[in-house]
Amino acid sequence: MNVEHKRPNKDAPDKIHVLTFTNEQGVKIGEVELMYFGKPFRFYYLSFIGVPPQLRGNGFGSLLIKTFNTFLNERKSAGLLRNIISSQNPAHSIYHKNGWENVQNFPKWLVFNAKYLHNPQYDRAIQRIESL
């Protein structure tokens, strides 16, 4: 699998990084969009993760999440996401299966590498994301 990391332009207002995943034949198997927040504490917000409908159910979603987890580990950073997948959908638990944990007092929010983002910072981090 190949991963292309497209960084945002310095002048871009949204600062979205895009990770595009392709197989050895160059076929796109998924994409991850994330935003970096650096001050006053570092974390990444996973704003989008997607696998083409015809490829779903083959483990590619888990592969994308594991790759993003490695990305966070290498940077010693936390990751936050809002789980918008319906609890009726089989993919709802994909994040928990790949090491993401619920954020206390924020039922739809999940965190990876919580050790880098302490509990009092959740309020501020989530408020920053929701203010976008």
pTM of the shown model: 0.85
Could you read off the pLDDT of 11-23 as tens digits, one per residue? 876 788 999 999 9
pLDDT of 98 reads 94
Give the pLDDT confidence of 67-112 residue by residue, as tens digits: 999 999 999 999 999 988 887 887 778 999 999 998 888 888 999 9
Q: In this predicted structure, what is the pLDDT of residue 108?
A: 87
Query: Which tokens is 15 given?
Result: 């600062």
99: left (phi over 0), alpha (psi -120 to 50) or beta: left
H-helix segments, the chain = 60-74, 94-97, 119-130
